Structure formats: structure tokens, C-alpha cells
């Protein structure tokens, strides 16, 4: 059986898929899928003719598919910018070019693992960029443009959920929060907001806060300043269209605040929302470990990072009641990032 490659591009309206065999012939007609049809897309790839599913090829501006696809057992690769032709200002490299890159240079794209996440193989570059950005980020925090956590004498905690909405897990998270009378902040990606507007309205209807998490969850250092701002502005416009309100918070995917990213964001009408407790639930270490990580790290004023979209978030859902009960038993109230920040001084995130 010859090797097959499924290039998947994100566009303004969803995903475009082209599947090639090792001779460059199309295995199936190019197809289009909405951002809410990831489960159906995975099933389609798995049932595509005889033999194993094709290897999936994404580019680094698409951080929404590797999680659910690796969880489903698919072979996923990331083609980085230096391997590819220029992208359009809004969208990834076309699907056919992604598949062709993997077909003609199969050793070049990086294999993405569930353990390493989207940035498998680029961790050193990521951490170096964050270190270089620390002085500018500290100055921005001092000026009130970046929020990491609240005051340590404020007996409240902000639970936050990234990468949604999701057609399955978002509703489960909202129902658990409602059971305990807790409010949270959901940092949404525009790609999913456009596909699942009713889920976004449902989040808002329960009194939760909505934040901006970019359109396609890209690795921000790979974007030009214009592309970065386009990601934020399109997502803000979509959230405003769906809910009637423009988000005031932006959480950068992966927290990748390099000096170049911070310079591109200078003057943008948004406040950065970071965190001081990372549940690391994206790595799916088990619900008990997720709960333990949060409860060991969280205290008064904490902002907790979790996820309810762009992957298999069943473990997060399973861990959430234990997390909430553990925090409530300590006398900590669960509020939104905006509520936590409102009581904080200008240097609370320092």
C-alpha cells in the first residue's frame, strides 16, 4: 500500500482537504469541512479506502487539529514556514501544497506527538522567544496591559478554558460550572466561533466571560504583524457579531510572547490575559493528575489555564468537579478574569 498524504488548510470558512498518494495523484476529490465537523473529518480520513489513514499535514498557523487527530491515532505532521511558499494574509498554505511538501520531502515536516503538542520539535525556540520577551512583558504588566494573576490576599480564583467552543465538551463544562454556581472565562478561537455560534451564545447566557484566543490558534512568531492583528480583529468581529460584545481580553496561543509578537501588539486595543497555574490538561495525563496539578498550584488570586476545545477534553471534564470542590473547600470563590482583575492593583500580575 502506497503512502498517502492529507494536506489540510484552514480558510475563512473552514477546512479544505486534499489527499495525494505517493505518485501525486488525488486519492479523493478535494473536500471542504466546517470548523464544527472535525469529528466527521477524522472519521472520513480513517475510512478513506483500503489500508491505513493518510498522514495529515498542517502548517504552523493551524493549532486546532493536531490535538483531536493525534488523540484519534492519526499520523500528524507540521510543515513550518521555511518549507513552504508564502501564505495568504488570512488562511494557511493551500491544502494541495501541504500534501505535496510531505510527499516530495517526507523527512522535512515535523512529526507532531500527543506529548509534545503542536510545537513538537520547536520547544527550544519557543522558550528562547519567551525569555527574550520577558522584559517587555514585565513592563507591559506594570502598565496594566498584561494580567497574570490577582492579588494574593483576594480569596478568589479565575478558571479559564481555551480553544473552544467545542460541539461536545463546551456544554459539559458549562453544565458543571452551573452546578456549582461558578463563573469562568472562555478564550475562544474565531474559527470555532464562526462554526458554533449557538455554543458561544450558550456560554454567555450563563454569565461567563468571553475572550479572544486568535482565529486559528497559530504559533504567533510565525506571523507577520499584519497577519497577527488580522487574527485578533477577525475573532473580535465574530464574537461581536454572535454576542453583541467585543472581547477586551486576548490570550496568546501557547503564551508565545516574544519581543516581536509584543511589538506587533503594541497599541492594539486589547489586554493580555495570561495565567499562573497551568493544568497541562492538553497532554491528557489523567483526570486525577489534572486535578492535583491545579489544586497544588492554585491559591488566592490565581488564574488557572485549562482547555475545552481543539482536542479530546474528556479528562478535563472529569477533573473539573474535583477542582471546583477543592477550591471551594478552601473558601475560594470562582470568578471571571475580568472580575479578578478589577480588584487587582496595576502590578498584580508582576
Judgement on whether residues 86 and 171 belong to the same structural domain of the protein: no
Report the pLDDT value the prediction gives residue 348, as an integer from 0 to 100.
45
Question: For this structure, is 162 an active site residue?
Answer: yes
CB 107 within 8 A of CB 73: no
Instruction: Report pLDDT digits (tens) over 108-134.
Output: 899 998 888 889 999 999 999 999 999
Report the pLDDT value the prediction gives residue 114, as an integer from 0 to 100.
81
Report the pLDDT value the prediction gives residue 349, as an integer from 0 to 100.
42
From 162, 163, 166, 281, active-site residue? 162
Tell me the residue range of the domain where 89 lies.
4-112
Those residues of the chain that have pLDDT short of 50 are: 346-350
Judgement on whether residues 319 and 244 belong to the same structural domain of the protein: yes
Report the pLDDT value the prediction gives residue 279, as an integer from 0 to 100.
96
Instruction: Report pLDDT digits (tens) over 259-301.
Output: 999 999 998 999 999 999 999 998 899 999 999 999 999 999 9
CB 148 within 8 A of CB 170: no
For residue 130, tell me if it sits in a domain.
no
Question: For this structure, is 208 an active site residue?
Answer: no
Judgement on whether residues 98 and 175 belong to the same structural domain of the protein: no
User: What are the Cα distances from residue 188, in Å, to 160, 283, 333?
Assistant: 11, 19, 23
Judgement on whether residues 46 and 167 belong to the same structural domain of the protein: no
Report the pLDDT value the prediction gives residue 343, as an integer from 0 to 100.
81
φ/ψ of residue 115, rounded to 5: -75, -40
Burial, 186: exposed, middle or buried (Cβ in 10 Å; 0-12, 13-18, 19+)?
Answer: buried
From 149, 192, 213, 307, active-site residue? 307
**Number of domains into which the chain is organized:** 2
Instruction: Report pLDDT digits (tens) over 20-53.
Output: 998 999 999 999 999 999 999 999 999 887 778 9
This prediction has a pTM of 0.92
Report the pLDDT value the prediction gives residue 139, as an integer from 0 to 100.
94
Judgement on whether residues 201 and 252 belong to the same structural domain of the protein: yes
Judgement on whether residues 24 and 171 belong to the same structural domain of the protein: no
Amino acid at each position: 500500500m502506497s503512502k498517502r498524504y492529507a494536506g489540510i488548510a484552514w480558510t475563512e470558512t473552514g477546512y479544505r482537504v486534499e489527499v495525494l498518494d505517493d505518485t501525486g495523484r488525488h486519492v479523493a476529490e478535494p473536500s471542504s469541512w466546517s470548523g464544527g465537523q472535525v469529528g466527521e473529518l477524522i472519521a472520513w480520513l480513517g475510512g478513506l479506502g483500503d489500508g491505513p489513514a493518510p498522514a495529515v499535514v498542517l502548517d504552523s498557523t493551524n493549532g486546532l487539529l493536531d490535538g483531536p487527530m493525534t488523540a484519534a491515532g492519526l499520523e500528524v505532521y507540521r510543515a513550518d514556514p521555511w518549507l513552504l511558499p508564502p501564505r495568504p494574509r488570512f488562511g494557511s498554505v493551500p491544502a494541495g501544497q501541504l500534501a505535496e511538501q510531505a510527499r516530495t520531502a517526507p523527512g522535512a515536516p515535523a512529526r507532531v506527538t500527543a506529548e509534545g503538542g503542536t510545537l513538537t520539535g520547536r520547544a527550544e525556540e519557543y522558550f528562547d522567544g519567551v525569555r527574550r520577551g520577558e522584559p517587555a512583558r514585565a513592563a507591559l504588566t506594570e502598565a496594566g496591559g498584561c494580567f497574570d494573576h490577582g492579588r494574593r490576599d483576594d480569596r478568589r480564583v479565575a478558571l479559564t478554558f481555551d480553544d473552544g467552543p467545542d460541539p461536545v465538551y463546551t456544554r459539559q463544562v458549562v453544565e458543571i460550572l452551573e452546578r456549582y454556581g461558578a463563573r469562568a472565562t472562555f478564550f475562544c478561537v474565531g474559527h470555532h466561533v464562526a462554526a458554533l455560534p449557538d455554543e458561544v451564545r450558550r456560554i454567555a447566557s450563563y454569565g461567563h466571560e468571553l475572550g479572544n484566543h486568535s482565529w486559528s490558534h497559530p504559533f504567533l512568531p510565525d506571523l507577520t504583524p499584519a497577519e497577527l492583528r488580522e487574527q485578533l480583529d477577525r475573532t473580535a468581529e465574530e464574537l461581536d457579531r454572535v454576542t453583541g460584545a467585543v472581547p477586551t481580553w486576548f490570550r496568546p496561543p501557547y503564551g508565545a510572547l516574544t519581543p516581536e509578537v509584543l511589538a506587533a501588539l503594541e497599541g492594539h486595543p486589547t489586554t493580555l490575559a495570561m495565567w499562573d497555574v497551568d493544568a497541562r490538561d492538553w497532554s491528557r495525563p489523567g483526570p486525577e493528575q489534572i486535578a492535583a496539578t491545579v489544586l497544588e498550584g492554585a491559591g488566592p488570586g490565581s488564574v488557572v489555564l485549562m482547555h475545552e476545545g481543539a482536542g479530546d477534553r474528556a479528562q478535563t471534564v472529569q477533573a473539573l468537579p474535583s477542582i471546583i470542590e477543592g477550591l471551594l473547600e478552601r473558601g475560594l470563590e470562582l470568578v471571571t478574569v475580568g472580575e479578578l482583575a478589577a480588584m487587582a492593583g496595576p502590578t498584580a500580575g508582576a
